Structure 1
């Protein structure tokens, strides 16, 4: 949970300092943030595949295969992240234009996004490190490195933004440096230390069979999260049609909401490892009990969080708003509305963690894609054209799509199909 809090603080630090520059830079950063998450979703798919495979091999006492999968995942991630970073850097002007960025917002968005694409290799490397550590039940070490990265980011943000007078570009540079330094150190430790699961230099060359395993499990998650992230790109294009103030309010509300969701995101990540190891050890009942416990815990936490957010939403939003009553009002309205759906988001994170940990990522993909493309975006179009709700129509569509998606996840959970193993165990010796 604390690790997810730290990840959220990366975004909140940038949001806080960029908000001091005014509404336009804040709106610009909000506009292009889904593009970063779209690219990151590919790395997350590899991370999900690694967590599922490594944890199940650990559960079945096959450490050799765990090490091999980890090393192959590293090689694949390095190559893919460099390619994606270069492509994204070159296509930035076209991406911002496609999303509806014009004039000042185009300038600020392009400045921020071109630099943020340098962060892709660092993000991918740290995802590999996190998958390897979490598969062994070690969530503490990645958290420590994340804490150090956030502290460095918080220190560098005002220096680059204001002292060096780099504006929104400074926020991006501070984030890239903070991420890359600790990602490289994390990977170094996996090569240097031979205890537990580590990276083996002898297995760096890609092996087709293992790559197929990683892709087979990671691809559905990548497609689901990529489709969801691209859905947020489209969503932002709808939000910006209501004006820069609405987009800025949306961005601030999302980052605050991410902070509140931190506990259930942590539960979902932990659950993926627990489910994977228990299914690898053929303990299906224990895996199911873990999911049920996670559902109860997430519901309690999100009900408490939702009540608190409704009460203090205006005060929190005001921290990020600089002399703009309209942004404050819209941000407060949005935050209060999404607070109502927090228990639903708890269910969503638990079900996604369950399906990812079990290796049945197709179900997680269906939830990710269906929530955005099957439900939310069609609802937004309908509400925009056939109601007088204005920006609130977007918020209502978000709430309803979350509710329906959770019902789907619950049905899949009850079916028990997610309990089937996905690993190939060594054949017993005669």
Structure 2
């Protein structure tokens, strides 16, 4: 960890971003393979089953949002304490994050199972769509504790600047999921198939995540060298929890509002039929592969920003921001060109439906042209998250959907004849406007202030001067 800290505070900034972001990129690739594996096997069941899994994802995201927001806050606070060479307080934050994630996810599992049918009906799901979505959603809710506990593990490790071990555990999870998916989903697969259909996809995911969640907890309590946790660290610490909530609540609200926005977006898309929402789901899964480098660099940037703000090195903070934009946009331009050229072939992997194929190819080509905007967007998000300015992140992420994208969809749908292309055009325009707004926020120097309390320990001052 000390080597990571020295690298983050003093190493070549481009190399730092690449070294930290590469495991995150691989981790994101692994998570995307997770989704693509599910999509591939569920797609063999039919369009309705696939559409149901796409439809429920924003609902799951909303329910996860509060926990995700707390973990974002935890990473920001831990990284700033590590940068300030204060592991004692960083450990306190880690213990509270783990305890909160477990307790909150248990409550969420119960509430989600009870209200799943109501939520789906309010969003317009009916018939076979409702049946498949309700089955999938309830099982995913049941597995929420395993998901949240692993999120907490990632939060603690990434706050320290360790992105490698979470990636390795994610890889184990995906490998498990790839084995379990066809066995659980299909009937008679190799003589082992259980034929559970959509339910099988959900159970395969839950079991695969449970494996790494248990091992992640084992690492934090028995293998962690810098700040190993004890059961006493999980006891409620009100001052620490207040500081986490102060930073995490805006992020949670932003995540929730973003998830709600995608729920409404799905409702708009569903009005154009199952084929359109299936095309949207396929296009997003493919697009997420290209976005992985930008997302990885944005996450790495948050660690670099947090530790350097903690160490009072603002010159390096700004250098890291500029480098992240240059690297992200360059990679995304190259990836966008490949996806634009190969769109018919990659969409065709997931569907043989001619309507889905046509709509999916058009959507993917349009998004690939403007994909560098997402590199800029992720750099702003990483900067403000690392600085702990989660209110700004909330305004950017939620505003992109509620203030720009959804009104544009309504306008285009009402006053144009674009059909399902209404959604695609609105996405592109909203991404452009959001980048402009993000730059305006960046010019405001308020994000450069620390969110941690200063420690006047003279030994710490000497260590910082020596480093």
Asked whether the two chains share a fold, i.e. TM above 0.5, the reply is yes
Matches of 1:194 and 1:26 in 2, distance apart? 40
Matches of 1:196 and 1:160 in 2, distance apart? 40
Q: Secondary structure at the match of 1:196?
A: coil
Matches of 1:69 and 1:11 in 2, distance apart? 31
Kept in 2, the 8 Å contact 1:70–1:198? The answer is no
The answer on 1:407 being equivalent to 2:436 is: yes
Kept in 2, the 8 Å contact 1:67–1:200? The answer is no
**1:414 CA displacement:** 2.3
Q: Which residue of the partner structure matches residue 283 of structure 2?
A: 253
Q: Deviations over 1:64-97 (max 9, x none)?
A: 1011110011111111111111101111111111
Q: Which residue of the partner structure matches residue 332 of structure 1?
A: 361
Matches of 2:279 and 2:62 in 1, distance apart? 21
The answer on 1:416 being equivalent to 2:440 is: no
Q: How does 1:147-226 map to 2 (within 5 A)?
A: 147-162=171-186, 163-226=193-256
Q: For 1:137, which of 152, 161, 168 is the aligned residue?
A: 161
Q: Which residue of the partner structure matches residue 305 of structure 1?
A: 335
Q: Which residue of the partner structure matches residue 56 of structure 1?
A: 80
**1:200 CA displacement:** 2.5
The answer on 1:123 being equivalent to 2:153 is: no
Kept in 2, the 8 Å contact 1:40–1:123? The answer is no
> CA distance change for structure 1 residues 137 and 429 in 2, over 3 Å: closer, same or farther?
closer
**1:3 CA displacement:** 1.1
Matches of 1:356 and 1:429 in 2, distance apart? 29
Q: Secondary structure at the match of 1:261?
A: helix
Matches of 1:354 and 1:217 in 2, distance apart? 15
Q: For 1:41, which of 57, 65, 71 is the aligned residue?
A: 65
Q: For 1:357, which of 346, 367, 386 is the aligned residue?
A: 386
The answer on 1:368 being equivalent to 2:368 is: no
Matches of 1:397 and 1:283 in 2, distance apart? 39
Instruction: State the number of aligned residues.
Output: 429
> CA distance change for structure 1 residues 197 and 268 in 2, over 3 Å: closer, same or farther?
farther
4+ aligned runs moved over 3 Å, structure 1: none
Q: Secondary structure at the match of 1:137?
A: coil
Q: Secondary structure at the match of 2:143?
A: helix
Matches of 1:382 and 1:165 in 2, distance apart? 44
- Computed over aligned residues only, the root mean square deviation of the Cα atoms, in angstroms, reads 1.1
Matches of 1:317 and 1:198 in 2, distance apart? 46
Matches of 2:355 and 2:386 in 1, distance apart? 43
Unaligned runs of 5+ in 2: 1-24, 187-192, 460-467
Matches of 2:171 and 2:114 in 1, distance apart? 32
Q: Which residue of the partner structure matches residue 8 of structure 2?
A: none
Report the TM-score when normalising by structure 2: 0.90
Matches of 1:128 and 1:233 in 2, distance apart? 25
Matches of 2:132 and 2:457 in 1, distance apart? 60
Q: Secondary structure at the match of 2:113?
A: helix
Q: Which residue of the partner structure matches residue 414 of structure 2?
A: 385
Matches of 2:208 and 2:135 in 1, distance apart? 18
Q: Which residue of the partner structure matches residue 298 of structure 2?
A: 268
Q: Secondary structure at the match of 1:122?
A: helix
Q: For 1:67, which of 71, 91, 94 is the aligned residue?
A: 91
**1:429 CA displacement:** 5.8
Q: Secondary structure at the match of 2:414?
A: helix
**1:194 CA displacement:** 4.3
Q: Deviations over 1:288-309 (max 9, x none)?
A: 1111100000010111111111
Matches of 2:205 and 2:247 in 1, distance apart? 30
Matches of 1:185 and 1:22 in 2, distance apart? 35
Q: Secondary structure at the match of 2:228?
A: coil
Kept in 2, the 8 Å contact 1:132–1:197? The answer is no
Matches of 1:360 and 1:254 in 2, distance apart? 28
Matches of 2:335 and 2:95 in 1, distance apart? 39
The answer on 1:344 being equivalent to 2:373 is: yes
Matches of 1:28 and 1:412 in 2, distance apart? 38
**1:428 CA displacement:** 4.2
**1:36 CA displacement:** 1.2
